[in-house]
Amino acid sequence: MPKRHASLIPLTHDHHHALAQARRLRIAAGGDGADLLARATDFFRFFHDETLEHFRAEEEIVFPLGIGDDRAEPLLARVMLEHLQLHALVFSLGEEIAEGKISPELAIPVADALDAHIRFEEGEVFPLLEEIVPQDRLDAIALPPRDRAEPPSS
């Protein structure tokens, strides 16, 4: 795997944590259901506490760097739509959390959507931006790493 530009590493770290959250939710959704409400609640909090800030950084700082490039614009349109789709899915998850009953039929697609989205960004969008954006513009991105209380676990 090619080395990620230093300015994008904080976003890649965020992606790692989000993949761990998605995995936990997917595992709980495939189990006996006893742990699903707790895992869904953890996922919901993570989304609101960390992912929304992450989306904002991508949307306001990183993705605009690809505007004007014919290869980047369709990818950026896709990731922006996926951000909206994830908002909608997590909103529905929040409604189920409020009712105290999480359906695996929602939890699994939420986890899968976030997983697929991250893999697309890491595999397609970030490498293209690293290729097309001038080095000095990438160097100017200021995304400080976030402190996290606990490392992701599987």
- The whole-number pLDDT of residue 2 equals 57
pLDDT > 50? residue 75: yes
Which pLDDT tens digit goes with each residue over 41-73? 999 999 999 999 999 999 999 999 999 999 999
For residues 58 and 86, is the Cβ–Cβ distance under 8 A? no
User: Which ranges of 4-125 does DSSP label H, i.e. alpha helix?
Assistant: 9-29, 36-46, 52-57, 72-99, 104-120
Task: Indicate the average pLDDT of the chain.
Answer: 92
Global pTM? 0.89
* Residue 1: predicted pLDDT: 45
pLDDT per position as a tens digit, 7-28: 999 999 999 999 999 999 999 9
pLDDT higher than threshold 50 for residue 151 = no
Q: Which residues contact 2 (CB under 8 A, 6 or more apart)?
A: 127, 130
